[in-house]
Amino acid sequence: MKRIFITLFLLLTLEYTCYPGYLSPRRCAYDSLLLLQGSSSATNAQKIIANLNLAKLLMDSVPERSFFCAIEAYKLSVKENNLAGKARSRIIMGTYYTYKQRYDRALSNFLGSLRLFSSIHDTLGQIELLAKIGALHQYIKKYQSAEIYFKEALILAQKKRDGRLCAQYLELLAIDNQLEKDYDTAMILFNQAYAQYALLKDTLGMMSVSNNIGSVEMDRGEYKAALERYLHILAMLKKPESWFLGTIYTRIGHCYSEIGNYRKSLEYNFKALNIRIQSRLQGGINSSIINIAGDYYMLNKPDSGKIFMENGLKLARFYGRLSLIENAYRRLSQYYYRKQDYVKALEYDEKKFAMLDSIMMTNNRYSLELVEANQRYAGFVETNAFLAKQNEKQLLNIRKQSIQFTFVEVLSALAAIVVLIVVIQFIYNRAVRRKMQHLNEKLNLEMWERKETQKQTRIREEQFRFVMENSLDMISRLGKDFMHTFASPSSLSLFGYTAEEMLGRSLFDVTHPEFHDFTRQKVEEMIHTRSSLELVYQARKKDGSYTWVETVINPIFDHHDGTYREFVSVTRDIQDRKSKEIEIMEGTKQKENLLKEIHHRVKNNFAILVSLINMQKEQTRNPELVQSLTNLQLRIRSMALVHEMLYRSSDFEKISFTEYLRSLASVIAGTFNRRDIQLHIEANESVMSIETSIPLGLIVNEILSNAYKHAFPEGNSGNISIHLINPPESSALTLVFSDDGMGLHAGFDIDNCKTMGLQIVNILVHQIEGTLTITNNPGACFTISFPKVVS
């Protein structure tokens, strides 16, 4: 039940987020296109593009607004006589009518767009329109008509020599034959499409064909074979499209359902539902809900099944999805037959057959509309042909009459022509002489310009040859297969190969094997981003030795269709630079070890001082001197502890002051060994430099030592608390020492205090640019505030 409630919550969330106003993921693109659409300074051509892009953006969420944008683009295209714009506008209008199930109008727009693309010889546009028209016929089960359009699209794709398009239309033809139940032909076409995708190394295309082959196996009732195929596809998926993954999950669930494993079917149908909810695929969501309901019924969980079935039928009726309603009734009928409740089963059978009749009537209506649209289009073409013939006849008659009038005029003017022939000849000869003179001058000028051009070309060639022959960097061109088609002479000094030897050699022939995968990955990234990149890798010379090189690669794309063609590279030797970098890294490591050793030796020297003071304490009987030496030991230990923590730390400039504070307080408490005094420490995490940590450590030593010595006379118990407060939003830290002892004497003033310890505290607080506040209520409380970063 928990899974049911979670799924229903996701459905409600999806219903809210699919509201037409919910455009936040594409808001930026929407606003920019809207601004360009209404701009007074934009040209009509720019507005056409903006309207078309806006129409595509809004088609899924606000189809009516998308349709109006397409209409506006069409009006502007008519005004500008932009045939491509008119064709693209009609594609969007046809898509809108398809969405509204007005297939006659959709077909009319698609055919009009096809005619426009044919007139401007846009082959890709024609292929796209033929696919849409074929899909339209296929949707209403006019498979033979759909096959005609798909074959025309395939022929154009073959003429275009586009392997991917050929594979796609072979796959569409196979699906059309599958729908006609010609499974043998469908399998042949699927295998051809798979081979084409394999040739292109298109993994997603190969998986798509495998998915469709699995559907053929399901149509034949081979559910176990189909299940194995879909599970294999699922294992191959790495970053699949959400719609594809949802389809695979659904078909796996269907296979499990057909072989009677309804629990597995329910599991995969839930996976499909979650994927489709995330992708907001409404039709897929509706289908998954009904499938889950059917699985719950077959698992004898009618309460859960009823919840999903009611929601599935509600969505299907709202969007007019008749086939999903028929599927729901079919599953309910199966359940009640299984329960031997034949009255209910018969009731749902009747509803199922009524829905099948509705689907058939709808398809027949759509088919009739498409036939009428095709007839109107054919009539339009015949009318145009008839009018063209009539126009040709009228032009022929006019030409005949013109010839007759011309003949009479020629006879009338023949005498005048004979009279004027001498004058005309004279004028002609003079004009010819002038023309010849002008032509000679023009030829001389062209010859001079050609010589200048040849001269400049030779100069540029010499400059280019000079640069190529004297450049230390190797300049080269490489094709799609990474083979060198050109190399500058500097290849000899860089790799040991002459320019002629480099031709026909692959980039990987002169690359260390460990960098082969890295180089392929970077080149694919360059092609994807369509920008140059810089590679640093080890190159292999002719003699087998290796050197570090740096290569800058620039991709070259075809100016016409934008496809990747080759790339140009500039390579230089950076072995010396790499060697120096390694030396610098080793030197840095040595310095870090040396600094670590210095901190270690400083800590050891402090330890020696503490030992010497211990020896001095053992030789004297003066209690005041012993106490002074003990105080000195604690001060030395507070500084030694900083160097010990720096020695253990990976950062030789900063330590964790929280850890340092706890260690130092533990050392001081152990020195006085007062079990009747409880020490409490609360400290926020804080990291400080050595310049701040040592003064603070001395301050902690003095205040805590004074508390142990004076706050609790012998026999009195109590508590000492230390709080380190480090607010994230503040630029200052606060260190608070408090006890519940006898407190300070009346009129205490640290500025006039004569004791050495508190004088040290006062000096060190000023050193770290802090402030000291002392209260006496009832025990002593020292509050020190100081900036987090002390210069």
- All structural domains of the chain with their residue ranges: 30-121, 393-460, 474-573, 579-652, 654-791
Percent of the chain having pLDDT more than 70? 78
Q: What is the pLDDT of residues 467-524, one digit of tens each?
A: 666 667 888 888 888 888 888 888 888 888 888 888 878 888 888 888 888 888 888 8
Res 163: pLDDT: 84
Residue 418 has pLDDT above 70, yes or no: yes
CATH superfamily of the domain spanning 654-791? Histidine kinase-like ATPase, C-terminal domain (3.30.565.10)
Is pLDDT at 717 greater than 80 in this prediction?
Answer: yes
**pLDDT value at position 360?**
62
Tell me, what's the pLDDT at 324?
74
Q: How confident is the model at residue 389 (pLDDT cuts 50, 70, 90)?
A: low
Give residue 240's pLDDT: 56
Min mean pLDDT across 202-211, 630-639, 673-682 is at: 630-639
Q: What pLDDT does 172 receive? A: 87
CATH of segment(s) 474-573: 3.30.450.20
* 779 pLDDT higher than 50: yes
- Rounded Cα–Cα distance for residues 613 and 605 (Å): 12
pLDDT tens-digit profile of 137-159? 877 778 888 888 888 888 888 88
pLDDT-based confidence at 243, cuts 50/70/90? low
Q: Supply the pLDDT for residue 647.
A: 55
Predicted local distance difference test score (pLDDT) of residue 587: 58
Mean pLDDT of 303-323: 79
Give the pLDDT band of residue 381 (cuts 50, 70, 90).
very low
pLDDT of residue 699: 85
pLDDT reported for residue 226: 86
What tens digit of pLDDT does each residue of 268-298 get?
888 888 887 876 767 778 788 888 888 888 8
Contact 735, 697 (CB under 8 A): no
44-64 pLDDT, tens digit per residue, is: 888 888 888 888 888 776 788
Token representation of residue 770: 């802090």
pLDDT tens digits, 517-568: 888 888 888 888 888 888 888 888 888 888 898 888 889 888 888 888 888 8
The pLDDT score that the predictor gives to residue 27 is: 47
pLDDT band for 22, please (50, 70, 90 cuts).
very low
Residue 383 predicted with pLDDT over 70 = no
**What mean pLDDT is predicted for residues 69-83?**
87
Find the range with the poorest average confidence among 133-137, 621-625, 738-742, 767-771: 621-625
SS3 label, residue 779: coil
DSSP 744: P
DSSP E strands, 589-676: 654-656
pLDDT exceeds 70 at position 108: yes
Q: What is this structure's pTM? A: 0.41
pLDDT at 638: 65
pLDDT band at 94 (very low <50, low <70, confident <90, very high): confident
User: Strands (DSSP E) along 558-624, which ranges?
Assistant: 564-573
If DSSP codes are grouped into helix, strand and coil, which group holds residue 42?
coil
**Calpha distance 370→680 (Å, rounded):** 88
Q: Which two tokens stand for residue 216?
A: 């053929």
Question: What does the pLDDT read at residue 588?
Answer: 56
Q: Is the peptide bond prior to 623 cis by the omega test (within 30 degrees of 0)? A: no
How many other C-beta atoms lie within 10 A of the C-beta of residue 31?
11
Q: Does 474-573 match 654-791 in CATH topology?
A: no
Q: Could you read off the pLDDT of 651-681 as tens digits, one per residue?
A: 556 777 788 778 878 878 777 777 888 888 8
Poorest-pLDDT segment among 218-227, 563-572, 665-674, 771-780: 665-674
The secondary structure of residue 1, as a DSSP letter, is -
Higher pLDDT, 114 or 644: 114
Q: Is the pLDDT of residue 266 over 70?
A: yes
First and final C-alpha spacing in the chain: 63
pLDDT-derived band at 4, boundaries 50, 70, 90 = very low
Three-state DSSP state, 18: coil
Residues with Cβ within 8 Å of residue 511, at least 6 apart in sequence: 519, 537, 538, 539, 540
Which range has the worst mean pLDDT, 133-147, 173-187, 328-342, 537-551?
Answer: 328-342
Is the pLDDT assigned to residue 464 strictly greater than 70? no
30-121 CATH: 1.25.40
The backbone torsions φ and ψ at residue 569, rounded to the nearest 5 degrees and listed phi first, read -130, 150
> Tokens standing for 378?
């054919």
pLDDT for res 356: 67
pLDDT at 26: 46
Rounded mean pLDDT, 102-131: 85
How high is the pLDDT of residue 313? 81
Judged by DSSP in three states, 715 sits in: coil
> What does the pLDDT look like over 720-747, one tens digit per residue?
889 988 888 888 889 998 888 888 777 6
- Kindly report which listed range (340-349, 442-451, 775-784) carries the lowest average pLDDT score: 340-349
Average pLDDT (397-422) is 73
In contact, 707 and 741? CB cutoff 8 Å: yes
The pLDDT assigned to 598 comes to 57
pLDDT at 73 over 50: yes
User: What pLDDT is stored for residue 595 in this prediction?
Assistant: 53
Check residue 133 and give its pLDDT.
Answer: 87
Stretch 19-23: mean pLDDT: 38
Least trusted range by pLDDT, from 25-34, 126-135, 699-708: 25-34
Residue 516 token pair = 């082969």
Q: What is the pLDDT of residue 357?
A: 67
Ordered alpha helix ranges (H), 120-222: 123-139, 143-160, 163-179, 183-200, 203-219
CA distance 236 to 226: 15
Rounded to an integer, what distance in angstroms lies between the CA atom of residue 592 and that of residue 375?
87
Whole-number mean pLDDT of the chain? 77
Instruction: Quote the distance between the C-alpha of residue 713 and its chain's center.
Output: 71
Helix axes 63-80, 83-99, angle to 10 degrees: 160
pLDDT of residue 657: 78
pLDDT band at 359 (very low <50, low <70, confident <90, very high): low
Does position 314 have pLDDT exceeding 50, yes or no?
yes
More confident residue, 502 or 629: 502
User: Which range (449-463, 588-602, 718-732) has the least confidence?
Assistant: 588-602
pLDDT at residue 410, rounded to an integer: 77
Whether the per-residue pLDDT at 28 is higher than 70: the answer is no
pLDDT at 24 (0 to 100): 42
- Strand partners of residue 474: 571
